[in-house]
Amino acid sequence: MKLTGNLLIGAHEIPATEGTMKALNPATNQLIEPDFALGGVEQVDRAATLADEAFDAYSHTSLAERSAFLERIADHLDAASKALAARAALETGLPEAQLQGEVARAATQFRQFADVVRKGRFLQVAIDPAQPDRQPRPRMDHRLQKIAIGPVAIFGASNFPISYSVAGGDTASALASGATVIVKAHNAHPGASEIQARAIRQAVQDSGLPEGVFSMVRGSGNAIGEALVDHPLIKAVTFTGSEQGGMALYRRAQQRPEPIPVFTEMTSVNPTFVLPHALAGRGSQIGDGFAERMLVNVGQACLKPAILIAIEGTGFDALRAAMAQRAAQAGARPMLTPGIHASYIRGLDDLQRAGARLAAEGEPAHGDLDGHSALLEVDGAHFLSETALAHEVFGPAALLVKVRDAAQMLAVARSLRGQLSAAMHLEQTDIELARRLLPILERRTGRIVVNAFAHPQEVSFATIHGGPFPASSDSRFTSVGMTSIERFLRPVSYQGFPDALLPEALRDINALAVPRSVDGQ
């Protein structure tokens, strides 16, 4: 596929208005052709205007039409899979085979959301029929369904160039809700972003939908992102990235004349708690598995297990040795961007200045952007006294926390901020301690895993990818899974309507066969 580097605003190819950029190959630290256009406020305004003009028509498409559109996107992603994975590998340093799996996951998400739309459960239809004879006052007919919130701005992530990017779950769930979408592509993988955007735009055209259903913009610095958040036609924002970046967007959105929701996925250390009998029986296995998951994607994953807490005693030395061996044997690999690499080096230094000791490190870096693995350790008392030790270090590093007893383990759990996930490794004989730990973790995370690691994650109805602040800005919602569509919906009640004027899902005859609550039943 030939890359033009243009911005894709509706059906239009927009050349550079604010300069150009090239992608960087982090494995070679060399720039890659071609030039990619950078835009500004004017291009954001054009995209937002088109999205608003398209919204009424798109949000009122039938469930069948919208499902077919989402499936066309999946088909176009499948067709572009080889070229997309190859370009993403050049721009990220990640293995091409892994990225082909990411394309497949993205296409699968669109098909899953097509099924969600087709079944209509997301509408959450409720009907309270009229009761004209009710005393002391008659009740009018009330009918409720959920509709899309409006045009949505989506900020692509750096670490998953497809499944959290232009064709990621945010885009799939927003389009499924009936929202029109503007994606701010991440500058770390502009070529991969263009291929995905063209797949979506082709599906818009094939489906005969208004051009403003989807646009992709790109810019340098913060100006274009700020313009998206500020634009009065944008009604919601999603963001995956750092706490600093996410909170800057969140605060900005609350200062608008019309505040809007910003759904962020920010920072998490995804703690793993190894309970005593599991430690005694499986310490080595748990330690090796933890370190293996920590190293996936060179540690550049939001669900990377970064802190392991275990009680000193039988099995601890075996656990520590297995973690150290896995970390020491890991080769240094390219990190995604110069900024992420620099932040990783600073993060390792911060941990050591806060009192963590280096227990093992992997092969030294060969390339300029290589990230070498590191295992650090600290005792529970010191961890509790230094809040900096609980901060995320985005990269192939982990912290082992040795606590003296169950009480100190629970104290460590209580000290943690909000997390995307937490894990417990336990045996049946650990159940009583697990019962004490569980409510502490429930208050601090959106997902608790037993006898496994939080990464990877299924995309399903029962999935939660979110948690209390600072893991996300709103712990009531998930950014992954079928229920992530709920971020982009709001309820509307229709009172006293004639049947012919009602939305199809609310009419007396349920021709769509969608699930409905009638008078609470």
CB contact at 8 A, 301 and 421: no
Q: Which two tokens stand for residue 84?
A: 């997309």
The rounded distance, in Å, linking the Cα atoms of 174 and 55 is 12
Amino acid at 281: G
Report the SS3 class of residue 437. helix
392 is catalytic: no
Amino acid at 257: P
Q: Which two tokens stand for residue 30?
A: 């060399």
Q: Which two tokens stand for residue 439?
A: 């409510």
The rounded distance, in Å, linking the Cα atoms of 13 and 519 is 51
The rounded distance, in Å, linking the Cα atoms of 78 and 74 is 6
CB contact at 8 A, 360 and 320: no
| Residue closest to 267 by CA, chosen among 290, 293, 291, 247 | 247
CB contact at 8 A, 252 and 246: no
Which of 302, 361, 377, 392 is an active site residue?
302
Amino acid at 102: E
| Residue closest to 441 by CA, chosen among 418, 425, 457 | 418
Q: How many Cβ atoms are within 10 Å of 439's Cβ, its own excluded?
A: 10
Q: Which two tokens stand for residue 151?
A: 């045009």
Q: How many Cβ atoms are within 10 Å of 304's Cβ, its own excluded?
A: 28
**Distances, alpha carbon 81 to alpha carbons 1, 25, 166, 326, in Å:** 11, 20, 14, 32
Which of 71, 194, 243, 265 is an active site residue?
265
Q: Which two tokens stand for residue 398?
A: 């982990």
CB contact at 8 A, 46 and 67: no
Residue keyed to tokens 């232009």? 166
CB contact at 8 A, 141 and 456: no
The rounded distance, in Å, linking the Cα atoms of 467 and 445 is 5
| Residue closest to 344 by CA, chosen among 390, 397, 401 | 397
Report the SS3 class of residue 509. coil
| Residue closest to 59 by CA, chosen among 176, 142, 162 | 176
The one-character DSSP state at 122 is: G
302 is catalytic: yes
Give the catalytic positions in this structure.
265, 302
